[in-house]
Amino acid sequence: MDLRNLLLVTAILLPLEIAAVDIPITDSWFGGFQAGACVAITTSLNGWTASLKFSDDVHSVEIWVAKVTKVSSREYRLQNEAFNPILNVGDQFCFSFVGRVTGNVTPKITFSFNGVGDSGSVASTPSSSSSSTTRSSSSSTTRSSSSTAAPSTGGSTANKDYMDALAKSILFYYAQRSGKLPANNPIPWRGDSALSDCVPGGWYDAGDHVKFGLPMASTTTLLLWSLYAFKDGYSAAQQLDAMYDVIKWPLDYFLKAWNSNTKRLTVQVGDGNADHSFWGRPEQMTMSRPCQEVSTSSPGSDVAAETAAALALGAITFKDKDTTYAAQLLTAAESLYAFAKTSRGVFSGASPFYVSSGDKDELCVAGVWLYRATRNAQYLNDARSFSDGAYIWALSWDDKRAACQELLYEETKTSSYRDAVTGFLQTWLPGGSVAYTPCGLAWRDQWGTTRYAANVAFLALVAAEAGLNTAQYRKWGVEQINYILGDNKHNGGCFSFEIGHGKQYPQQPHHRGASCPNLPATCGDAQLNADAPSPQILYGALVGGPDRQDFYQDKRTDYIQNEVATDYNSGFQGALAAINHLVATNNFPQTNNKCPCNP
């Protein structure tokens, strides 16, 4: 069912009368409720007002597709925003809102366009029975309902412990948590930290202690996408509960970071230069941790839109587990997206560490996930307007154009989106423009080599599920992950670039907390420069990886090959979930890695 179980409102609109249709309540709790619907437009409007009337007192109404004026506690006047004054015949005006009440009150609600009459009624069937622009979103347990069923590619035997690799990747995200840690914290060497941050919680970005908004949101979106597409892969590895637990941490942070009343989003906590001059535990930081925000006067639509995408996908993810929490996430996602769409401009405050190349890709991805959460066709139309068919270099925290094209193909089956996805992946497959190491890793850049390969492996496995070159993409995607997990020649072979997986793995990640011995021992530059294994095992972290010739140096001071970061693990973890799905469905492909691990 659709996240809000929205009902399609069918109406015949006549001029100079007042429309009145019942609006269903889709969720309620003590002190509030959520309601919404889609109204068919059969008379063109250029500038509009509308009314919401209630059978009981409602203290306030929060809605983001209209300006709100309180007429009385039982009537609110709506007026179009600057971005939606024109409603044309054939459009669907879809909206939702939150009402605040005293106690457990669920009033009867009527909606009317002022100056327009109605001889229609509210349909009694869910929107999934109507046209494709309002059909129900698929359950979070399955892939998108519009995806083509992937053909079977045969069931070869898995040659790696992909379940272990997935479980350990989740542990890495536990190690990156900032704020007050719960009693079930599984990382014994981590404690409470940065409790005085302007917005506590969230994830530290890498081996440092800055909370950068764009890569955190991008990481969250990609991880949630893997849960949406390959939930059975998490279940097969017995990691579903852990994944729900770990992914809620950044979502809670985003809810606290966004103030819909002031339209201000906190997008960074900490100063990169000051932070990078400190080597020690996050629990013992003493440097200033300034906040940076985006607002209508200081826009950052790239990070705002990506955060909205994460919140929307989080709402889909949690709809069957916690409807109240899912409603909070979606309410925040819609208001934040509206802010991003109307306050365009790229956030520059994370320079030189993270500099975004634009905001259209984030707006596109946010539009698709909001469409899947609400089935409001305007979001899908927005996403299509933001898509970009130009050459794509990689899938990364900065550039989500390939993700945008894949998601739009799943929803529309349009050939231009299909061609964009397959064209991008063709550049990554052997014979394309991306270089390969002798042992077969697709090598895009010295910074985050394994990260780029794993991100595209995840996308290839998603595209395979949508019916695109299924056998080829499955084989290639699994082979890239196989290289990362041991099908390489470092240290005689069988070396895993994921820490803690297998018998050989990196001992010296460029990570402050892991380099520190147990308290009360001190930690500082001596630990940075110590040519010895880190006292703490940073389970699951994916290091940057080898150079173009498969050479890798396991040395903490080499912050290129030994960098770890939340975004490094995101596509990697998603690909692992996809591979576990292939094993569970007897579709694991026959692989042929150039340097197979033969322990």
Catalytic residue annotation: 554, 563
573: closest CA among 538, 539, 540, 537?
540
Residue 299: C-alpha distances to residues 44, 169, 198, 347, 366 (Å): 33, 34, 19, 7, 17
Specify the residue for token string 């506690």. 73
The span from the CA of 261 to the CA of 255, in Å, is 13
Give the chain's end-to-end CA distance (angstroms, integer): 48
Query: Which tokens sit at 72?
Result: 């009385």
Please give the single-letter amino acid code of residue 169: S
3-state secondary structure 482-544: HHHHCCCCHHHCCECCECCCCCECCCCCECHHHHCCCCCCCCCHHHHHCCCCCCCCCCCCECC
According to DSSP, the residues that pair with 98 across neighbouring strands are 34, 62
* 223: its two tokens: 């991880």
Q: Report the C-alpha gap between 455 and 397 in whole angstroms.
A: 10
Structure tokens at 18: 């007042």
DSSP 3-state of 400:
coil
Q: Could you give the CA distance from residue 198 to residue 370 in angstroms, rounded to a whole number?
A: 28
Contacts of 261 (CB under 8 A, 6+ apart): none
Query: For strand 92-100 and strand 264-269, is the pairing parallel, antiparallel, or unpaired?
Result: unpaired
Q: Which residues are CB-neighbours of 415 under 8 A, at least 6 positions away?
A: none
How far lies 209's CA from each of 101, 498, 591, in Å? 41, 21, 39
- 22 close to 108: Cβ distance less than 8 angstroms: yes
The CA–CA distances, whole Å, from 593 to 83, 153, 166, 436, 439 equal 52, 18, 20, 12, 8
Q: Tell me the two tokens of residue 481.
A: 């992950």
Which structure tokens are listed for 410?
A: 């799943």
- H or E element that contains 474: helix 470-485
Residue owning tokens 């890569």: 215
Q: How is residue 367 written in tokens?
A: 């539009």
Report the C-alpha gap between 456 and 392 in whole angstroms: 12
Q: How far apart are CA 539 and CA 496, in angstroms?
A: 12
Query: Are 408 and 387 within 8 A, CB to CB?
Result: yes
